[in-house]
Amino acid sequence: MTTIAARDRRPLPLADACCTPLLREPLTASQAAGLARTLKALADPTRLRLVSMVAAHEGGEACVCDLTEPLGLTQPTVSHHLKILVDAGIFTRDKRGVWAYYALVPSALEALSAVLSTAG
């Protein structure tokens, strides 16, 4: 899974942040920066709702057109939030004709959970 560095927009592997559980060993500066970018992408009520809506949607994927009405937001606003989640490596985007379909990256939340886990 990848996250996007704020300044240069180059992908940064979230796996770097996921190597050491946060609560058992200190994170390196690089790991902390990668994890912070991922958490920042999720630290928005609309984006959290999008993650839950797409994960719960039939087939595990959804089109922007499926998400605007339930959120009560315009298509450009929903697309903006979806782009942030794609850039953070939380969603994939599959273009089909004029529509784009979004799906949760299977390991995205598992990797985040592993970092925050206290289990040994």
Instruction: Please write the tens of the pLDDT for every residue from 75-103.
Output: 999 999 999 999 999 999 999 999 999 99
Q: What is the CATH number of the domain that holds 74?
A: 1.10.10.10
pLDDT computed for residue 107 by the predictor: 85
In angstroms, the CA 71 to CA 113 distance is 26
**Number of domains into which the chain is organized:** 1
User: Cα separation of 79 and 88, whole Å?
Assistant: 14
Q: What is the pTM of this model?
A: 0.74
Q: What's the token pair of residue 106?
A: 């299977």
pLDDT for 15: 45
Which helix (DSSP H) or strand (DSSP E) does residue 26 occupy?
none
Distance from the first to the final alpha carbon of the chain = 22
- Residue 119: the pLDDT is 62
Residue keyed to tokens 């560095």? 5
The predicted structure's pLDDT at residue 9? 39
d(CA 111, CA 120): 15
Q: What is the domain range of residue 83?
A: 2-116
User: Which stretches of the chain score pLDDT less than 50?
Assistant: 1-18
pLDDT, position 5 = 38
